[in-house]
Structure 1
Amino acid sequence: MEGLRLGGRYQLEARVGGGGMAIVYKARDLILNRQVAVKVLRSQFGTDEDFVNRFRREAQAVASLSHPNVVGVYDVGQENDTHYMVMEYVEGSTLKEMIVSRGALPVEEAVRIAEQILDALEHAHQNQIIHRDIKPHNILIGKNGRVKVTDFGIARAVTSTTITHTNAMLGSVHYFSPEQARGGITGEKSDIYSLGIVLYEMVTGELPFSGDSPISVALKHLQEPLPEPRQINPGIPQSVENVILKALVKDPFLRYASAREMLDDLETCLLPERLHEKKLIFPVDDEETRVVPIITPEMLEKQASGRAGSSQRNRHERTDDDDEQKPPKKWWVKALLWVGGIGLFFVLAFLGFNLLLNLFPTVPEVPVPYVEGSPVEQATKKIEDAKLVANVIEEANDTLEKGMVIRQDPAPPMRLKEKATVTIYVSKGQQAEDMPNLITLSRSTAEDMLKRMGFKPENIKFVEEEDDQAEAGIVIGQDPSFNDKVYPSKDTVTVKVSKGKSFVKMPEVRGKTVEEATIELLKAGLEVGDVTKEPSYTTQEAGRVLSTHPYDPGMQVEKGVAIPLTVSNGQIPLDAKSYNVPVYVEVVPGETVDFKIEVSDARGDKQVAYQDVITESNEFDVPIVLSPQKDAVIRVFIKGSNNQYIEYQTIPISYNSLP
């Protein structure tokens, strides 16, 4: 369909992607003169009226979204049997392509991408739009690092009759939530589960569940426990793994309640105090080991008839038992046995209670002393004086000096039994960290990474420099360097950011020799390109620069560009006509005349041929050069009493008048 124009304004240029239901083209909006993406519905779905109506309603709903991380929908239309949607064009790659080419992404980068996706999902959920097909293929990463979520609402438009004609399930089953795989109701938490799979794939480079068929993968989502991310990539912090585990728990009620809740958790998961938090443990769900079948009307009918048959049999059995006449037991024997048993229970319970009191005497309780902010030696002594046991755990801390108690567990007004344990967390002082590699990252990504490490905003210095290799906004240098030891709370980081390629002012080199022009161009940061010799009307001196086209003097030119030079070969063009015109200047005897002769011809305008002061009349030969496009004019000027030159004589010469 390349070259086709839709709606009279969208010119399809090239196919850039597609799936089972639609094909995406890069196109140009001819009215607004901007690049757009046009998604065209495949022809086999154009006749499904139910699908088309829902497709258009979904597209219109998504067009109502306005968020920097959502690919905008500009227009929806129909051209004959072709249904299409016009969207924002994002120049870059998909997240899937990034993972395939790079493998597991750095944790900081993966968290940043997931945060932007969650921000988009939270906005969509607030507008009652569920994506239902979150996967790396639907996440676009622009060249500026901006994350864009696309294909909102399309999955909702698929009907039971069309799903068998497409490969949509096959492409998305690795990211299905258990409720989607079971065929149940999907909502916000299904999107959260799918994003959990995407985050899992970003930090490990692998999918958690795979199989030979879509059915086998769907069953694994339902039945198999999640392979823990840290077993694949031990470099993942426990806090990040906890986020993934909570997003991927099979019971939707145990997942994050909303995209906002997961986003809030992600925004703090890389803080130093959270990196080594305890692993999340969820209760074991018996439903993971079996598949609950869908209950059909036939199954209900069969179950009802089974209950009726069972009831009938029971009535027959009771009738048969009634025919057997058993002698009844005496009532007082049963009563006596019950009374005796109850009495024996109370006697044994009383004796056992007294025995336990003798074996395990009561331990007195003591108040827990407050030791936070104290030196560890003093804190330990306080705890021991209270007849408790101190358990000391050291950890890094940016604010308290080494050896000071950061916090305690438990704390006052708690009371404990004597010899119970009080855990005190003691500062090891600030710990040096490895400086990350910021080069090639965008400025915003680098700044986010440094802030997460604990660098203060005022200690992050950005310096912009021109760079011929890197695009504008990309980090090209850093101080401290990669892997240097730094203290985030007090050190300063200088980040060099590219301003893009530099531009210089084109110097005037026309009329100079090639050597002189070369020196001027090199001084300006430019190179000398091809040197072309040709005849010229303007100068007959060989080697003089005639033109630097297309680079005119004073133009801003990209640094390092090779400037082509056109120079004179010392000759005039073959169609030129040269002639010497005699011009007579008359002088009254006894007077002095200050005169000037100017020539305008193919060589240029207002060229001074003669300028002198004479005391007698004289004739001067004035050379002229004419071209088919340029005639010649000779003007004689005489300086008057006011010391200004006054035109005295004008001599026009036509090209055609000369032989």
Structure 2
Amino acid sequence: MIGHTLGGRYELLDRVGGGGMALVYKARDILLNRFVAVKVLRQQFMHDEDFVRRFRREAQAAASLSHPNIVSIYDVGQEADTHYIIMEFIDGNNLNEIIRDRAPLQVEEAVRIAAQIADALDHAHHNQIIHRDIKPHNILIGKNGRVKVTDFGIARAVTTSTITQTGSVLGSVHYFSPEHAKGVSTGEKSDIYSLGIVLYQMLTGRLPFLGESPISVALKHLQDPFERPKQVNPHIPQSVENIILKAMRKNPHERYPTAKLMLQDLETCLLPQRLHEPPIQFPSDSDEDDGEQTRVIPALKPDMRMSGEETIVKKDEKWDEAEDRKRRWVAPTVFAVVAVLLIGILIWAVMALKGQLSPKDVEIPLVVGKHYEDAKAELLAAGLNVLEPYPEEPSPDVPAGDVIKQDKQDMKVKEGATITLTVSTGPELSAMPTLTDISYEDAVAQLNDLGITEDRITKKPVNDKSEAGTVLKQEPASGENFDPKTVTVTLTVSEGLAPFPMPNLIGSTLDEAKVTILQNDLVLQDADIHYEANYTTKGKIFKQYPAEQGEMVTAGDKIQIWISSGYPADSKQRTYNVYVSPALEGETSTIVIKISDARGDDIEWGTKKIKTSQTYPVTLVLAPNTNGKISIYRNGDLIDEEPIPYEDIPASHEINPPEPSKPVDSGGTDGGTGTTDGVTDPGGSDAPADNSQN
């Protein structure tokens, strides 16, 4: 279901847990822009009407609880066949994971956790809600140390269809009270028994009852004794063991009557005068000696008969009845006097020791407005304890970390009493809205509505393919808490893609142009490729749009190109034989032939190195109403220039530049025949030659 949005409001982000009856997801409340936990009923229970009815009723009842140590329930809903509960999201671990990783815990930590659980149970019991499934799996510990009890009332929704569900009964039977194991009605004292087992497990790292099956474990709850905590962990103070023993009595009448009384015991059990108190005793621990008690048998009188025989008193042994009466009252009188003396001594001893054993009264210092650490130090110096972790509240006036209030002040308490300090978290924070993927102007408007002025909003422009003006990133991030009076916001905003110069495609083939276009992230569609007759070589691009080389474009822009399909139909091609000679017969001269025609002006046809006179065919392409021209350069000097009209002229025309001078000594020449090295005759080609003759 990850990615699904329940009720059009709760976007499921990740699965964070689950049990026999439900799966738990971390979700984002889109409306309030906060993280919540969503418990979704497992599919196999969706059509159990009785279960669903109880599930919803108990969830709604639990939603009525409001306590800092109870996970708040925000909403109950249904979408199609999916039933779900929206709860407070706790960023931390459950107690089962902590016990698994670190047990046995320090006594102070275990007592602190148990006290917060007892406080939560006391609140629930006052609201007529019995948990019935207190176990480490249902105790969450936030990263700030706050203990949160979850799953209130859900255990009541279990029907016979869940009795064998893995993780339901098998996971909870180790924490059952004896009356729960019997299947009789359970009440507040059942939760107290389960809390005693949780405290036992935190301090010993083990469960008091183990067995091969749930039935065997349940039977041990009913009839077997458990190993005393101090036998497992000798570091447990006697006062703490007494709390565990009293909470885990099999007889409910011998347990704590209420969770509040257990809480009070937990709050004082670590005081120095209680650490070594004697082990607790219970009436049911001493068995009566049936028939074996000492009985007082009446004395026999002188005239009594026994077994048919007479007791004979001789006349000379006179019975002194007065002496007998005297002896009867002497012994009781002595005993009475001794008893009075002992009672007097005991009363004197108690009165004498009362001042030493009873804690002295302490005036509570007023620490409101002081920093928490300073306030704590002052209370500890006065002989008082401070509740940790401390509760927190937002305050627009009290700086974060300072004490807003204390639960007791302007009074005297016994030394060692615990004082609760409420600490400020600073001004109440709001959740930063999602500002990405909207325009910068809309984002600024939202921030202004939250009280964030424009001088605390920084715009950071970047080039991106997103539409110009779109917010790409925000700091603080979406969902992060912030103080509207002091926060500064940075918005990274798109300015569109960065422009760059248009590449030159003129003279390229279509394949060459496509490579260049792809490298620059430009777009060329088939409809934008045009073929036209042109004096450019067939297959070469002669026109492009954007037309100007270096004109600025951006990635994604569409372009057009025009490709030559050949020369126009009214063009004429003419080949002329160009006769050239060296400056001095037999010596090398460099000849350059240039042409001007419809394809362009002063196009270099070719360069030749000659020693004798040569003739080269040169082809021109002429357009109507225009003239062509052939220019001949020898050793860098223009020696001839011949205009070529468009009108019909012979297909072969001799162009003869001046004859070369004859050498004085022609010996060693090639007999008047010109030689060429590596020269390729262009023949009738319509392209200028670019090779040379040696």
**Normalised TM-score (structure 2):** 0.47
Question: Whose radius of gyration is greater, 1 or 2?
Answer: 2
**Normalised TM-score (structure 1):** 0.49
